[in-house]
Chain A
Amino acid sequence: MEFPTTSTTFRRWAVRRIAWDRGRRGSVFIAYVRTLAVILFLPWRAGRRLVVPDHWPRCVRWAVVHIGLAIFFCALLANGRHTLQWLTERVSPSSFDPPHLEFPGDASAERVLVWFSQSFAAWAIALLYSVGLGSLLSVSIPGRHRAAKLGGVKWGLYLSSLFIVMLAAWYGYYVLNPPQAQATLPASFTWTLPTPGPPAKLLAGAYGVWWAAGMAANPYNRARTLRTFLGFALLYAGSWAIMAWVLFPAGALEALL
Chain B
Amino acid sequence: MNPALERHCYDSRRREMRLLALAALVLLVTSALWHQVKGTVVYRVACSSIGCPDRLGLIADALRQRDPRFPDAVPRFWSLSWAKPEWIAWSSVRESVPLEDGSTLPNWKVTVADHNLTVRGFIAADRPFLLTPADRDGDSLCEVVMEIAATKDDAQQDHVWWVVLRLGTEHNEILWVGLMDESVWHSRGMRLKPIWRDEDGDGMGEFVFITVETTRTPAGGLVFKPLQTIAVFEWSAPGGILRTLSLASDSGITPWSPGGREPIRVDQTADLAPLVHELLPAPEVP
Contacts and interface: CB of A to CB of B under 8 A. Distances in A.
A96 B216 CA distance: 9
A115 interface: yes
A100 B5 contact: no
Interface residues of A, number: 51
B83 A143 contact: no
B69 to A, nearest CB: 19
B224 A82 contact: no
Interface string A170-191: 0000000000000010111110
A146 B10 contact: yes
B248 interface: no
Interface string A118-143: 10000000000000000010001011
A255 B54 contact: yes
B48 A187 contact: no
Mostly helix, strand, loop or mixed at chain B's interface? mixed
A80 B54 contact: yes
Contact of A146 (B11, B17, B46, B83): B11
Interface residues of B, number: 62
A99 interface: yes
A106 B48 contact: no
A37 to B, nearest CB: 29
A147 interface: yes
Contact of A142 (B17, B31, B131, B224): B17
Given A95-B219, A187-B53, A251-B42, A143 B31 contact: no
Nearest to B191: A99
A80 B17 CA distance: 45
Nearest to B42: A252
Nearest to B28: A247
A188 B82 CA distance: 8
B54 A146 contact: no
Interface string B48-89: 110111111110111000000000000001111111110000
Interface string B24-57: 0001101100100010011001101101111111
Nearest to B11: A146
A228 interface: no
B16 interface: yes
A10 B212 CA distance: 88
A249 B80 CA distance: 28
B23 interface: yes
Contacts of B62: 252
A186 B106 CA distance: 15
B19 interface: yes
B133 to A, nearest CB: 11
A12 interface: yes
Contacts of A253: 38, 41-42, 45, 58
B217 interface: yes
A96 B23 contact: no
A145 B8 contact: yes
B129 A111 contact: no
A145 B78 contact: no
B83 A107 contact: yes
A94 interface: yes
Interface in B185-229: 191, 193-196, 212, 214, 217, 219, 221-224
Contacts of B8: 53, 145-147
A101 interface: yes
Contacts of B55: 79-80, 115, 255-256
A118 B61 CA distance: 17
Interface string B256-281: 00000000000000000000000000
Contact of B83 (A104, A187, A249): A104
B78 A140 contact: no
Contact of A99 (B27, B28, B82, B212): B212
Contacts of A107: 51-52, 83
Given A145-B9, A248-B30, 12 more contacts: A82-B52, A99-B214, A102-B82, A104-B83, A106-B83, A107-B51, A111-B83, A140-B23, A187-B56, A252-B46, A255-B56, A256-B45
Complex A-B, nearest 9 residue pairs according to Cβ-Cβ distance, in ascending order: A80-B54, A188-B53, A95-B221, A107-B83, A252-B61, A104-B82, A247-B31, A147-B8, A142-B16
21 contacts: A82-B52, A97-B222, A99-B214, A100-B194, A104-B82, A104-B84, A105-B83, A142-B11, A142-B20, A143-B16, A145-B10, A188-B79, A188-B81, A192-B54, A247-B30, A248-B30, A248-B31, A248-B34, A251-B38, A252-B46, A252-B61
Interface of A: 4, 6, 10, 12, 53, 79-82, 94-97, 99-102, 104-108, 111, 114-115, 118, 136, 140, 142-147, 184, 186-190, 192, 243, 246-249, 251-253, 255-256
